[in-house]
Amino acid sequence: MKNKKTTKILEMILLILIIALVTLVSFFGLLYRDLNLWKNVVPDYSFGKDLGKMRILSFSVDTSTEPVEENTSSSEDEVEVNQTVSKDEEISKDASDENATEESTPEEVPVNPNEVLTADNYKKVKSIIQKRLDKADIKDTEIVVDEKNGDLTIYVPFDGDSDAIVEHVTSKGTIEITDTETSEVLIPQEMISKVATYATVSQDQDETVSGSTYDIGLQINFTKEGLDKLASITRKYVDVLNSDGESDPKTVDIKVDGQTAYTTYFDPAGTYTELDIPMYSGVEEDQYELYIDAMKSTETNIESGKLPITYVTNQVEYLENRDNNNILLVIIVAICIAIAVVSICLIVKNKFKGLVEVISQIGFIALYLLLVRVVGESLTIFSIISMFILAMINYLFIIKLFNSDKKTFIEVLEEFTLKYIPVLIVAVVFAFSSYIELASIGTALVWGIVASIPYNLIFTNNLLKIYKELNKMGGRK
């Protein structure tokens, strides 16, 4: 009997030590030495823009001009006329040579014509940019658009990637296939159904590079109309021989945001249902993630729709919200006091059992906070309050479990879950809300539920079993 009691005490001590270890890692992290610096394996907390510092990015409508792209092709009739001009015309042409420089100056047109600068297009820009930021998993953003002049202001948390945001705002998100020589649009964006990032191991490996290299690009899929047009141009834009018997292929350009990303021609015997466009070739392993991210950013911009207006960056500012920091401090102090008061009351009332309940709850809070740090959940004032509410609900579950002598863990869990079904519903509904405040509440509740069930099954349930065994052996109550 004495040996069995000693074993149970050692089991409880082991569980408490594990809980203590989780608590230490949660609150202080897990440090390792890197050269002369100490680094933390556990990520820092991610705070929303309503806490601490935020980035403010401002953009305005591009008011610059660009030259009109001229069609350089000439018809056969025009060639014949040019070859048979009269002497009078040649004299006239020579007389006008003095003004040749002025006449050859390309015509300039606004990047954003006046007809596109409308309130509807400003709203469309906001919608498309929000979609791009959501796809890029840039969270807790607020976009404000001035419907009079189109100016954009974007508020993001301090740790938000401002370079990525600038890319998503200033990129028009266009893609098209054009004739290399004439710039005629052969397949417009409307005939492209989807683009996706791909990566393959390079066929021609550089022997001077250790490890594999990769070709990274976009795979283009087409609509039915686009496939028909693709079948047509793959027969026309092929490698041919000129009069000297040399290769002189007729090529197409794949243009992204108006810039030529790739030039190619086709095999007339081939069958094309999609196109793989290598944007980056020979990418080494240490730069793989960098180029993949860049390619996915381009994919996101195209997939989210093309912007009707081109924007330029004005400035990026930093703002520290000191008032909300003070509010947060008050909330955290109040939460700590509330948990401490409940814990002291439990220990005073239930003695050893109350102490075990408190230890179990401390372990849950530590695991909950650790999970929030690891998944990178953006904390807001609303999510912190909801986390406190869930922690108190978990406290009630632990107390109920310890006071249910004849019921199993599963029976108590089922009974408790039925009682708090509204909380589960709110958590799921809010987690998928488009409103940041509601989404932060829902997500915090969901992660708390994810942490609660396995933790209580493994730790609280076993602590309870050991406590009951010690109690039967005449241990402390």
In a domain? residue 344: no
List pLDDT tens digits, range 453-464.
Answer: 999 999 999 998
Instruction: Answer yes or no: do 448 and 388 share one domain.
Output: yes
Q: Is residue 328 part of a domain?
A: no
102 in a structural domain: no
Residues 434 and 377 in one domain: yes
Q: Which of 267, 302, 337 is the last residue of a domain?
A: 302
What is the pLDDT at residue 476?
Answer: 52
The verdict on 151 and 241 lying in the same domain is: no
Task: List the chain residues with pLDDT less than 50.
Answer: 72-93, 95, 98, 100-102, 475, 477
Domain span holding position 400: 2-41+351-472
> 393 and 296 share a domain?
no
Residues 67 and 183 placed together within one structural domain of the fold = no
140 and 166 housed in the same domain: yes
Write the pLDDT tens digit of every residue in 348-358.
Answer: 998 888 999 99
At 181, which CATH number? 3.30.1360
% of the chain with per-residue pLDDT over 70 = 87
* Whole-number pLDDT of residue 185: 94
CATH at 62? 3.30.70.3400
Q: Per the structure, how many domains does the chain have? A: 3
Q: Are residues 164 and 274 in the same domain?
A: no
Terminal-residue alpha carbon distance, the chain: 18
Q: Is residue 477 included in any domain, yes or no?
A: no
Its sign, for the CA torsion 131, 136, 142, 146, is: negative
Is 226 part of a structural domain of the chain? yes
pLDDT tens, position by position, 374-396? 888 878 888 888 899 899 999 99
Q: What is the pLDDT of residue 81?
A: 39
In a domain, 85, yes or no: no
Identify the pLDDT of residue 87.
Answer: 44
- Same domain assignment for residues 194 and 268: yes
Q: Please report whether residue 330 resides in a domain.
A: no
Query: Among residues 275, 302, 329, which one ends one of the domains?
Result: 302
23 with 116, same domain: the answer is no
In this predicted structure, what is the pLDDT of residue 291? 92
In this structure, the answer to whether residues 355 and 406 fall within a common structural domain is yes
409 in any annotated domain: yes
Same domain (yes/no): 261, 372 = no
pTM, full prediction: 0.67
User: Are 379 and 445 found together in one domain?
Assistant: yes
Q: What is the pLDDT of residues 197-214, one digit of tens each?
A: 999 988 766 666 667 888
